[in-house]
Structure 1
Amino acid sequence: MKKRHIEYEGREENAFSLSTGDLMAGLLFIFILLLMGALLQVQKNAEQDEEIVKKYDKTKTQLYIDLQKEFKDDLATWRATIDSSLCIRFQEPSMLFDEGKQELKPRFKEILNDFFPRYIAVLKRPEYRDNIVEIRIEGHTNSNGGYYSNMELSQDRTRSVLQYCFGLMPPNDIIWMKKLVTANGLSSSHLIYKKNGEEDKFLSRRVEFRVRTNAEKQLEDIANKRLINKKK
């Protein structure tokens, strides 16, 4: 009887060991499934982010092409450039303002008369208007003079440009523009440099029109989301 009891206890002990092993295997399987699900979700999110970036980058690229097409015959006459960041730069100071003054020179008014209505017409096209988050008018100075006095001067100049441009447009366009157009005087904070590293005092005095699209906003949102996830 004693022998049978020992064998019985042994069988009980083996059965208990097997059930513990099965439990551990089950937990491991569940962990693997959860890990695979998390990895698949990360991959899915990355693919979605990539599609968003491609979509908005395509819109931004096409807008650059259309702005180039619209103004390519005028840029040389205006002493202006367009780059792929959607910045249109008027870089002939003698055409823009008198030294230390905020009033637009007659030649700059003539340029704006031609440029600005066409500029807004491109931006208001159905394929672009809902993707634009800001239209920036930026005033820049060189490093001559004090930073704060240059800040005041550049702000006064951009307000003068904004007011003049608004006066060129019909009421319906102005309603749309008020939501997006801003005047930004930046003093000498964004200087232009020559190839040898010296400040280009001539080209640093300029007015720029910049467009911010959803592409920038989407990239910022994605970068912020990834930063938050990295900290978790």
Structure 2
Amino acid sequence: MSENAGFQISLDIQGRLCVAIGGDDETFEKVSRLLDVGAKVIVVNPTLTTALKKLTASGKIIHRGRHFRSTDAQDAFLVLNLLREDTDLSKSLFELAKTERFLVWSIDQPDRSHFMMPALIKSGPLRVAISTSGASPALASELRRYGESIFDEEFGQFLDSLSALREELKKSEPNDARRRERLKEAVEGFRFTGTITYPASWEAQKKLSAS
């Protein structure tokens, strides 16, 4: 099967208006990612999870407690649609995006989305995006879960220390070559290794194919 791998980029959405349609745990996860990079977020849905209610109460997001209206997308940079079952909405959003000039993503509907939302590993400043190009979102979630156990809190602290060193050298070391050498020395010896354990069903399938 040939999947569309897309073109991997990172969008600068700091200070930009983003709209999330939905009120469940997946909406909270996507909204948290938007807030993490400084977006202004509006959530549109009649109901919210407790976690989203807390974000509303703290003033971190704006909640419109009703179903989506086309005016909700006015001035938006991107719209995330977390309502799987409402195919009419995803279709109308994709058409609306052409006139209102925003990017839209509808969950599990790549043909009505301008971009993909990969699974994301976060540790301090580190961001590792994981995509199977739509082949297996479930596997992408598992890779994210195990990746988080590798890039743990200590890794985040280590990366923060490298960032501090880089800023210090910008001020104290005027020679570009020496500055690069110091930064290279700081990561010498860093390694991470791992093994893959495949499901029993896959191992059985391989044996059948080989016989």
TM bracket, shorter-chain basis: under 0.3
What's the TM-score once normalised by structure 2's chain length?
Answer: 0.23
Which structure is higher in helix share?
1
Higher relative contact order, structure no. (Cα contacts within 8 Å, ≥ 6 residues apart): 1
What's the TM-score once normalised by structure 1's chain length?
Answer: 0.21
